[in-house]
Structure 1
Amino acid sequence: MKDTEVAAPTIRTSTGRRAINDGASVTVGNIEAGANWDYSLDGGATWTPGSALSIAGSALSEGTHRVTVRQTDASGNQASATAEVVKDTQVGLPTVATRNGTGFVNRGEYLTLGNIEEGASVAFSLNGGTTWIERSVIGTHTWAEGTNHLTVRQIDPAGNQATTTAELEVIASISSPSVRTSTGKRVINESGSVMVGNIQTGARWDYSLDDGRSWTPGSGSSIASSALSEGLNQVIVRKTDGAGNPSTMSIGVVKDTVALAPTLTLASDTGEGGDRLTNDGSLSVGGIEPLATWEYSIDGGGWLVGGPAGIADPGFTDGAHNVRARQTDAVGNSSQETELNFSIDKSAPDRPGLFLNADSGVVGDRIVRSASLRVLGTEIGGTTHVSVDGALQGTTPNDADTTLIDMDGQLSEGARSIGVQQVDAAGNASDWTFINVTIDRTAPDAAFTGLSGSGLAITSDEGGEVFLVRDTLSPADDLADIDTLDASSWRRFASAGPGNETSLADLSGLRAGTYDVYARDGAGNATQIASPLSGTGTGPLKAAIGSAGSDVISLPDGGGVMVGNGGADRFVFEAGQTGTFVFTDIDDEIIRGEADMDIIDLTAVLKNYTAPSSGDDAANDLFLTRVDEAGKSTIFVDVDGNGDFQNAELVLVLTGPAAQQFVQLATPGEVLMG
């Protein structure tokens, strides 16, 4: 049989792919029985006999080859086939990358695989290769939290395989960083720091001091105090873990590099506040910062630990003392020292002496109108306390060793117990000193009672003294300045006692003139003796002292009768007392009328009048009437006893110092003429 054709051989790889490695082969098929085959790797330039229907992978060099297989059958017919085969004995290691490029991943995150050859199969194992999971995309959804040992394997089309291992930590929860100070308090000084913790391996951290507007990378595990400003700082620490998860924590930190000096004051600056003189050595300490400690030194001694109650008086002796104090705040800053200098005086002053500065009226009887006190032995800078009848009345500063205290208007009338106590500048008090006085502001009830022997008789309900004072003088109301007046114009007479008559007999040395009469009690209250004449406008009692040769008698305030014994006796009115003056006798017979006269000469008036020579009616018959221009009559002296004595004064006329004789109204309305 003639055979002119042969079928083409088939070519495939043992891997089923184009690529083979040393362990694979090129498989030849469709070789007829009895036929031979060979192959060429260089495009037919050379041929290698084939056997066992395969070409070993080792026969091929690394790389891509065009493998041509030719079969020759028993008849000599030939047919060939060509196939491209890649000889690949190497495969690259696969790469594994996390999203953030670290060994930390979040649960549910997908890994990025690299260097995977085209056509290669990928598998991974979490148990060291015991079991493999074929998957080209690897996720962490089912991975355990913590460290996972990952193996990734790739097998390329040629059958070559390579594995890569990686330890990846799965972070299933996010934790915040911890932030605290090195002191354990919210306050640090220059040597302190802000400590940052809970930063896991692979995590990074940074911090912000401006509410997150800017961030500074952190290093180590702390933020130096030098990075903070003095005062309150809001520190935000941000941690970014290996998986890229951020978390923050903030803390308020006070940077305090200065401790203020404490304050030292006297707990009780007794006496006058602010003078640092006291009898209590207890000290108050202020300005101590929270959680700070403080200590103090007394008079240059060692330092003692201070407590919350300040500094108790350690038993300071009298004299000057010095105390210093300092504090160390909660972050270790030490303050400057505070110093206080003060003086201690715990000795009570002596009990003061107490006297009436002026015993008005009768000296020594302690009956006064107003108590003016003289306190002796007072310490300058202290005060004097005054009590009245056991009740504190007031205080007076001591400006000298003798202190005067005016109690005018502060004491009610009656017996009073006045006490004084001095308190020195340190507040130490002496014992009390007391004096008993009687306050009397009521003028005595005194009156003219007539003659007493050879003088005037005055009675007073309080005793005391009686004064004749020339009416041209103006003594003080209580005659307190009487001793400063002309001695020939006044005279003092000791009182005969309460209710008794005091005789004003010794008038030697007094100047001629008209005198007022006063009674003054032991407290110095004075009463001017009134005329015994009754009626509206009755004036004071007057005593007229004349000279031995000529008596000139004045009538102040337009009223009264004065007569003299011998000489030119004249009846004198003040200026302006003009009109018609009519003298009548007891029978209303007009003796004489004078118009517009200021001075009436009694001698001329009486020259045609003969007085009775004896008997009770002697001279008891003279009237003086003034008729003014309007025709109104005024009786100046009415001696008939009808009680109408308007504008009248009783004037007692002394007819000469040598004779010391008095002419007076023996009874109201009766004129005695000598």
Structure 2
Amino acid sequence: MKLSASLRDAAGNEGKSRDVELKINSTVPSQPTIALKVDSGIAGDQLTNDATLNISETAAGVTRVIKLDGFKLDYYNPNQMDHYDPSKLTDGLHKVEVIDTNAAGNSISSGEFSFVLDKTPPKWPLLKLVEDTGTKGDNITRNGEYTVSAEDGVRVEYKVYGDAEWHTNKPVAVEGRNYTNIIMARAVDKAGNVSDETVLKFTLVTTPPPKPSLLIDVSDNIVDDPFLTNKNLWSVSSGYWKEYSADGQNWTHLEQGAKVGSAEGVNHFFARATDEAGNVSEVAEYTFTKDTIPLLLRKLISIL
């Protein structure tokens, strides 16, 4: 557009006219775009643990302003304290707007971009045996079930000792008297933050121990009879917790190495063993004869 202008003074003198050319630019710049660089956790939920943004580049001659939560930032000078620094953002909701302005003063906004920043890891899960059978606190059990307690809304991941990758399938305990289950767990929240690991170690034993064996001294026998003795004491042998009973109902603990007195004649009793996991063996039933009366005296007694 061309304009012609001249000046005239009070006396009517008119100066030379001069043409002025004006350029009108009403074109706005391209609309800037904003996106999370890392939408951690669930894609598309605008919840992240990394506030770094992907912002489209500016065109030549365009001035850019960034607003963070309503405050204007210095886009061009990253050394200024008010430059957008994702590491300085606190947890919570944040709103970002980018405004581009060209040399003609035409401006365009990206629109308000909102996201939630969550950099706080969840608490680690708690793993606990449902039942520590046998001796409490030794983590030897006949019940391989365990509970998992975690914060609401997190995903629990597991791996067992030797695994390279984490997975969401709850591991099943492996049975074995000489095997230690080592189960690790961690929590991952919706923003992708990962908790510390927790570990549960225990041994699962479901196989009962062998039943105890009878111990009586038959060294003086002149006949091959393992259930005949002339000794007063007897015991049972087992590498586990031992109990004996006269009626199979009421049980008495028998310490390792301890012996029990016997009566003259036929002795009848029951015995069982219990391992560290609380598994109880089959009940053993034993009958033996104690004979301490010499043969001659026995004949005299029979005569009388």
* The two structures share one fold, judged by TM-score above 0.5: yes
Q: Distance in 2 between matches of 1:177 and 1:208?
A: 14
For residues 49-79 of structure 1, what are the alpha-carbon distances to aligned partners after superposition, in whole Å with 9 as ceiling and x for unaligned? 67999853x4245xx5122223222255553
Q: Distance in 2 between matches of 1:144 and 1:189?
A: 42
Residue from 170, 174, 179 that aligns with 1:147 = 179
Contact 1:39–1:50, Cα closer than 8 Å, also in 2:
no
Residue from 210, 221, 230 that aligns with 1:176 = 210
Residue equivalent to 1:122: 157
Residue 59 (str. 1) matches residue 96 (str. 2): no
Unaligned runs of 5+ in 1: 264-284, 289-309, 311-337, 339-674
Residue equivalent to 2:247: 210
1:26 to partner: Cα distance:
1.7
Residue equivalent to 1:134: 167
1:138 to partner: Cα distance:
0.7
Q: Distance in 2 between matches of 1:174 and 1:28?
A: 62
Q: Is the strand fraction higher in 1 or 2?
A: 1
Residue equivalent to 1:37: 66
Residue equivalent to 1:80: 112
Q: Distance in 2 between matches of 1:190 and 1:90?
A: 68
In structure 2, the CA distance between the partners of 1:220 and 1:73, relative to structure 1 (3 Å rule), is farther
For residues 432-486 of structure 1, what are the alpha-carbon distances to aligned partners after superposition, in whole Å with 9 as ceiling and x for unaligned? xxxxxxxxxxxxxxxxxxxxxxxxxxxxxxxxxxxxxxxxxxxxxxxxxxxxxxx
1:124 to partner: Cα distance:
1.3
Q: Identity across aligned pairs (percent)?
A: 9
For residues 112-511 of structure 1, the aligned pairs below 5 Å read 112-117=146-151, 118-127=153-162, 129=163, 131-132=164-165, 134-140=167-173, 146-148=178-180, 150-157=182-189, 158-171=192-205, 173-181=207-215, 183=217, 192=233, 194-199=235-240, 206-212=243-249, 214-216=250-252, 218=253, 220-221=255-256, 225=260, 232-240=267-275, 242=277, 244-252=278-286, 285-287=296-298
1:37 to partner: Cα distance:
2.3
Q: Distance in 1 between matches of 2:176 and 2:256?
A: 29
1:241 to partner: Cα distance:
5.0
In structure 2, the CA distance between the partners of 1:120 and 1:175, relative to structure 1 (3 Å rule), is same
Structure 2 counterpart of 1:198, one-letter code: G
In structure 2, the CA distance between the partners of 1:176 and 1:60, relative to structure 1 (3 Å rule), is farther
Contact 1:93–1:164, Cα closer than 8 Å, also in 2:
yes
In structure 2, the CA distance between the partners of 1:114 and 1:229, relative to structure 1 (3 Å rule), is farther
Tell me the secondary structure at the aligned position of residue 136 of structure 1: coil
Q: Distance in 2 between matches of 1:37 and 1:246?
A: 74
Q: Distance in 1 between matches of 2:193 and 2:129?
A: 24
Over the residues paired in the alignment, what is the CA RMSD in angstroms? 4.8
Residue 95 (str. 1) matches residue 127 (str. 2): yes
1:100 to partner: Cα distance:
4.2
Give the TM-score normalised by structure 1.
0.29
Q: Distance in 2 between matches of 1:224 and 1:119?
A: 58
Contact 2:32–2:100, Cα closer than 8 Å, also in 1:
no
Unaligned runs of 5+ in 2: 1-25, 219-225
For residues 20-71 of structure 1, what are the alpha-carbon distances to aligned partners after superposition, in whole Å with 9 as ceiling and x for unaligned? 6xxx51233455635332434xxx5x67667999853x4245xx51222232
- Greater RCO, 1 or 2 (C-alpha within 8 Å, sep 6+): 2
Tell me the secondary structure at the aligned position of residue 286 of structure 1: helix
Q: Distance in 2 between matches of 1:191 and 1:36?
A: 102
Give the TM-score normalised by structure 2.
0.56
Q: Distance in 2 between matches of 1:13 and 1:219?
A: 67
